């Protein structure tokens, strides 16, 4: 594409690719979630065999193109070297750049906005992708599939990110940077629910909270939306009696919430689904939408309420020169319980959380959070999963009050409409001639 539009789109691709690099391959949590996602989607096809260490060793032998022999259940024999060649010819090797949905140059095929640091992270990602696909590929051949059939099935469950229609590549991927995984994953999860529901249930049950399910369901309605959008379970209570939750698993089955969101009775499924898709927008567009609506789309809260910064940064900013603190709108507050709370100007903080430093900021804040124990910090840093207690005062009560106010306003409007209808009907009856 040439001209001003082409120049603009190349600029968009460069900025978006650079942003993708800063939130994906540089961080252990992304690779851990990618590996877990591969295991879960492979499990839908081959079951517990995906966890068999012998199968993993066979996959490594094939990736190294050794002279070992691979024998199927039907007695067919292949050399690992030949299988490695077919694996590469079928486009299954070195696909992490596609997995991260990075745009490439139409002329050279190179990743846009690349650098040595990003390439190092991609090598880790490629190792994870290669092993997962090799394990599934060999499993299918073992059960009688030809190598070409095995490659096709592998792409069905671990996705061919380059098999895109022009509209998907040129429009959707620019508007929604990580849309390809979701677009291919939702049909897979729906099909698995219909054909292998037991395997889906195994994944879901891991996050089921044991106990009285009716009581748990009532309690779940009071959990924040950003927790209930995916799989979550209660794992205990803190010293103040508040529930401690495990959430943000990143399981592929959680994508179904994008089309069938779990909502409270007073809320619209359509609105929740729309807001869920909006959170996936290109960060530059999403920033403008959130500024225009004054709302954090993920947390579903006004931006001025999402201005608390991590304590590890607050302690350093407290010693910063006054001009810097004034520019950031930095201030130190105390909660009703006497806890220290560091805050920034909502717009400045919104900028920090939205673009290139967002993942570095959040990862560092969680890794060095003095209020969390080492296990919790490590779990979040290296897996992305979250453990924490719910602060009803800031995370639940505002939403409940807003919902109650909305219901009350709706009831008032309905009553006014009924009164207007009665007045109109009464006026019409009085205007009619007697005897009719």
Instruction: Summarize the confidence of residues 8-17 as an average pLDDT.
Output: 87
- Burial-class residue 351 by CB neighbours within 10 Å (0-12, 13-18, 19+): middle
Phi-psi region of 176 (alpha: psi -120 to 50; beta: other; left: phi over 0): beta
Q: Report the relative pairing of strands 340-343 and 301-302 from DSSP bridges.
A: unpaired
Q: DSSP state, 79?
A: E
Least confident of 9-23, 35-49, 183-197, 254-268: 254-268
Which residues are CB-contacts of 375 (< 8 A; sequence separation ≥ 6)?
A: none
DSSP letter assigned to residue 110: P
**Of 139-153, 190-204, 290-304, 344-358, where does the model show the most confidence?**
139-153
How does the average pLDDT of the chain come out, rounded?
86
Instruction: Kindly tell me if the per-residue pLDDT of 133 is higher than 90.
Output: yes
Between the alpha carbon of residue 385 and those of residues 36, 208, 219, 280, the distances in Å are 12, 16, 21, 19
Nearest to 384 by CA among 237, 251, 202, 204: 251
User: What does the block give as tokens for 246?
Assistant: 């495990």
Mean pLDDT, residues 82-86: 96
**158, 38 Cβ separation under 8 angstroms:** yes
Distance (Å, rounded) from C-alpha 329 to C-alpha 174? 33
d(CA 176, CA 279): 9
CA distances from 206 to 46, 197, 232 (A): 19, 15, 9
**Predicted confidence (pLDDT) at residue 121 exceeds the cutoff of 70:** yes
- Of residues 284, 281, 254, 259, the one with CA closest to residue 269: 259
Is residue 337's pLDDT more than 60?
yes
Q: Characterize the bridge pairing of strands 243-247 and 340-343.
A: unpaired
User: Could you tell me which residues come within 8 angstroms of residue 315 by beta carbon, excluding any fewer than 6 positions away?
Assistant: 342
Widest pairwise Cα distance in the chain: 105
Q: What is the pLDDT of residue 339?
A: 81
Query: CA-CA distance, 135 to 132, in Å (whole number)?
Result: 5
pLDDT tens-digit series, residues 20-66:
988 898 899 999 999 999 999 999 999 999 999 999 999 999 999 99
Q: Is the pLDDT of residue 169 over 70?
A: yes
Given pLDDT bands bounded at 50, 70 and 90, which one contains residue 282? very high
| Alpha helix stretches (DSSP H) within 143-212 | 147-158, 166-167, 173-175, 179-195, 197-206
Instruction: Map out the domains of the chain as residue ranges.
Output: 3-197, 211-393
Residue pair 22/100 in contact by the 8 Å Cβ criterion: no
Task: Provide the pLDDT for residue 9.
Answer: 83
State mean pLDDT over 338-345: 88
Could you tell me if 139 and 157 are in contact, meaning their C-beta atoms sit under 8 angstroms apart?
no
Length of the chain: 436
The angle at the Cα of 155, spanning 84 to 23, to the nearest 5 degrees, equals: 100
pTM, two decimal places = 0.83
Q: Above 70 in pLDDT, residue 204?
A: yes
- pLDDT of 262 reads 65
Q: Average the pLDDT over each of 178-187, 263-272, 349-358 and give the range with the smallest value.
A: 263-272
Q: What is the dihedral of CA 176, 350, 358, 388, to 10 degrees?
A: -100
Separation between Cα atoms, residue 147 and residue 76, nearest integer Å: 12
* Residue of 146, 127, 104, 140 whose CA lies nearest to 16: 104
For residue 169, give the DSSP letter.
Answer: I
Task: Select from 315, 298, 297, 301 the least CA-distant residue to 365.
Answer: 315
Instruction: Give the whole-angstrom CA distance, residue 158 versus residue 136.
Output: 9
């Amino acid at each position: 594409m040439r001209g001003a539009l082409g120049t603009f789109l190349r600029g968009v691709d460069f900025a978006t690719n650079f942003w993708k690099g800063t939130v994906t391959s540089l961080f252990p949590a992304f690779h851990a979630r990618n590996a877990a996602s591969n295991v879960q989607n492979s499990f839908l096809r081959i079951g517990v065999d995906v966890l068999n260490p012998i199968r993993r060793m066979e996959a490594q032998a094939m990736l190294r193109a050794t002279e070992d022999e691979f024998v199927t259940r039907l007695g067919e024999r292949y050399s690992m070297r030949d299988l490695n060649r077919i694996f590469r010819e079928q486009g299954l090797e070195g696909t992490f750049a596609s997995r991260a949905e990075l745009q490439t140059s139409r002329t050279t095929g190179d990743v846009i906005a690349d650098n040595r640091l990003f390439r190092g992270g991609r090598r880790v990602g490629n190792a994870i992708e290669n092993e997962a696909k090799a394990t599934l590929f060999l499993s299918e051949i073992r059960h009688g599939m030809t190598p070409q059939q095995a490659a096709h099935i592998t792409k069905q469950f671990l996705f061919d990110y380059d098999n895109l229609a022009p509209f998907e590549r040129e429009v959707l991927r620019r508007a929604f940077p990580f849309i390809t995984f979701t677009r291919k994953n939702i049909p897979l999860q729906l099909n698995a629910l219909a054909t292998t529901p037991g395997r889906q249930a195994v994944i879901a049950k891991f996050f089921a909270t044991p106990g009285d399910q009716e009581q748990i369901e009532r309690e779940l309605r009071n959990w924040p939306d950003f927790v209930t959008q995916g799989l979550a379970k209660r794992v205990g209570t803190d010293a103040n009696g508040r529930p401690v939750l495990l959430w943000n698993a990143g399981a592929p089955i959680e994508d179904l919430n994008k089309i069938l969101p779990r909502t409270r009775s007073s809320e619209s499924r359509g609105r929740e689904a729309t807001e869920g898709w909006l959170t996936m927008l290109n960060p530059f567009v999403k920033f403008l939408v959130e500024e225009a609506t004054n709302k954090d789309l993920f947390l579903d809260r006004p931006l001025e309420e999402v201005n608390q910064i991590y304590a590890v940064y607050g302690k350093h900013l407290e010693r910063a020169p006054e001009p810097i603190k004034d520019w950031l709108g930095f201030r130190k507050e105390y909660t009703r319980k006497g806890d220290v709370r560091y805050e920034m100007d909502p717009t400045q903080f919104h900028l920090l959380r939205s673009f290139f430093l967002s993942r570095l900021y959040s990862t560092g804040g969680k890794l060095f959070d003095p209020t969390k124990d080492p296990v919790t910090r490590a779990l979040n840093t290296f897996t992305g999963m979250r453990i924490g207690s719910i602060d009803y005062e800031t995370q639940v009560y505002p939403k409940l009050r807003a919902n109650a106010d909305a219901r009350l306003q709706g009831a008032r409007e309905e009553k006014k409409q009924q009164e207007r209808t009665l007045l109109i009907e009464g006026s019409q009856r009085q205007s009619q001639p007697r005897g009719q």
